[in-house]
Amino acid sequence: MIISKTPLRISFAGGGTDLPSFYEVNQYGAVLSTCIDSYIYVSIKKHSPLFDERIRLNYSETELVSNIRDIKNSIVRECLRHLQIDDRLYISTIADAPAMSGLGSSSAFCVGLLNALYKYKGIAVSPGRLAEEAAHIEINVLKRPMGKQDHYAAAFGGINYFVFHSDGTVTVKPVVVPDHLVAGLSDSMISFWTRETRPSESVLTEQDLNTFKNSQLLLAMRQQALDLMELLYNGHFSIERFGHIINEGWLMKKQLASRVSTNAIDTYYEVAKQHGAYGGKISGAGGGGFLSVFASAADHNKIVDALKEFGIVPYKFNFETRGTAVTRFE
């Protein structure tokens, strides 16, 4: 059996500038993000000939099929096609967070599945190749209105400043700063599961169509990714300043599409700020998922208590330094 373990991510700034409609006409896009200690696990093994079906899939559904073309899970189907694998297989997946929660789960799944399938074939691949091929499958093959940031975050792990160049290439700049800064930033962040989900495509399609109209906003959001990285490096880092930049970014992000936020999310956010949060944002395209806020650790209990009446669930993510990894059990 082969098992891959691939981290989910939280983006700090620059989301939307990784869409081709932006970076192809504005020289580049840029995103600052971190991976977190919640994962997608994918397992692969040879499927026993004692079963009638050739391929068995277990995820939120169970599929029993005899031909790749009959697989409903589009990522599994296209990854098998991409690697020209037509064996008897049993593929299953387990996630630490709900689907459509804004943590990049579909891209992490695609990266983790490719990593496991390459291991199955006995081929060693780089994180960059995994990221690029996963992005190709979701963006070019499946025609999803998305950028590459999630694939690169899942493949590389850690805190990174990603630059998406107009020619389609990507530069990965790991943010290497003292451990106490990373710990301080991680300790300051607390996330809330809003219990609302929305397919990212429903928001990103509108956002993509609005790219030209929103170009000035997106240019400012691209600059914020650089500003946050420089804040970590310049020796004057503070959670308060970091949170304020995140807040400015969230106010701009809400203008990119009509369904980035909801009345409920706006209420949660304002209550969090009234009780000590410097800033925060919804992860992913928006419309639901996890609301992450940044505040002094001393104020976390106040924020949690204030949001209890809304029934949303607090959750403490820690930062993850490793990208997708795979283990083979003989």
Residue 16, SS3 per DSSP: coil
CB-count exposure of residue 114 (10 Å: 0-12, 13-18, 19+) = buried
305 — pLDDT class (breaks 50, 70, 90): very high
Give the other-Cβ count within 10 Å of 219's Cβ. 13
Residue 207: per-residue pLDDT:
84
Is residue 195 within 8 Å of residue 179, measured between CB atoms? no
CB-count exposure of residue 145 (10 Å: 0-12, 13-18, 19+) = buried
Q: What is the mean pLDDT of the segment spanning 255-268?
A: 91
284 — pLDDT class (breaks 50, 70, 90): confident
Query: pLDDT over 70 for what percent of the chain?
Result: 100
Q: What is the DSSP letter of 100?
A: T
Name the least confident of 13-27, 161-175, 205-219.
Answer: 205-219
- The whole model's pTM is what? 0.95
CATH no. of 179-318? 3.30.70.890
99 — pLDDT class (breaks 50, 70, 90): confident
The CA radius of gyration of the chain, in Å to the nearest whole number, is 20
201 — pLDDT class (breaks 50, 70, 90): confident
**Which of the following CATH numbers is that of domain 2-176+320-328: 3.40.50.80, 3.40.50.970, 3.30.230.10, 3.40.50.150?**
3.30.230.10
Q: How high does pLDDT run on average in the chain? A: 94
- Structural domain boundaries in the chain: 2-176+320-328, 179-318
